[in-house]
Amino acid sequence: MQSLLILNGPNLNLLGTRQTEVYGDTTLAAIETMCLTKAKACGCNVTCLQSNHEGELVEAIHAARDVHDGIVLNAGAYTHTSVALMDAISSVSIPCVELHLSNIHAREEFRHKSFIAPVAVGQICGFGPKGYDLAIDAMLSYLGQST
């Protein structure tokens, strides 16, 4: 059975109340429940984790080794700044799908650069919470499991 780590970065704990015009009104808890339901339907395991701290995200990626088959990463603002996350993904050799609720390419120019994209198998952005379902499907397909 495949196992995925759904890893969420800074400020995503405020979903549902933070900039709802950009991120919508769905809470992180609701997204995590949606991910668990999706995983069950697909016959895989999912572990959800959120941290506002870059080092904790790096440690979670390291700890995913020999535990998870894939990572779905919404690194939030660290997408555009964190060489450490990029290096962590490269170091563990676990496929990663980069995910964003909003379309980062239609927003401020500084959001157009992703340090995660060069080490990810793909990127999903702009579909709101539905992006998590899409990312799980994409990762499972990449791993050779039909959804």
- Catalytic residue (one of 23, 68, 78, 132): 23
- Catalytic residue (one of 78, 100, 112, 142): 100
78 is catalytic: no
Q: What is the DSSP string of 16-29?
A: TTS-HHHH-S--HH
100 is catalytic: yes
Is residue 51 classed as helix, strand or coil in its secondary structure? coil
CB distance 139 to 129 below 8 Å: no
Contacts (Cβ under 8 Å, ≥6 apart) of 27: 15, 16
- Residue 139 class from Cβ within 10 Å (0-12 exposed, 13-18 middle, 19+ buried)? buried
Q: Just list the catalytic residues.
A: 23, 100
